[in-house]
Structure 1
Amino acid sequence: MPARDFFRLISGSMAIEDVTGVVADGDDQVRSEALATIKEFREAGLLSEVEKN
């Protein structure tokens, strides 16, 4: 059953809140969406304080 998931990225005193969320059919899709969001934030310079692993 699809569910809406929200992401909160935290590094030190910096936090990025996901107010929209994403509708996903399962854990694999949630993980994929989270990784895509992190990539977009990094490319936009929003996660410059977060270590890239």
Structure 2
Amino acid sequence: RLGDHDFVMGAGEAAEFDCQIPHWFGAAGSGNVEVLSLFGKSGERIHLRTGRR
């Protein structure tokens, strides 16, 4: 799930997305799921977004 959208991916497929969008990873059925997450240089720093005060 990415935001309001559901995606079912098969073995060997990859996804890239803005991690600020609410997301969830899990099995689409009763089987197991394996997730490999890779982070680039921009992921090494904390990114804070705040509204105006």
With the shorter chain as reference, the TM-score category is under 0.3
TM-score of the aligned structures, taking structure 2 as reference length: 0.25
Structure with the higher strand share, 1 or 2: 1
Structure with larger Rg: 2
Query: Would you tell me which structure has more helix in proportion to its own residues?
Result: 1
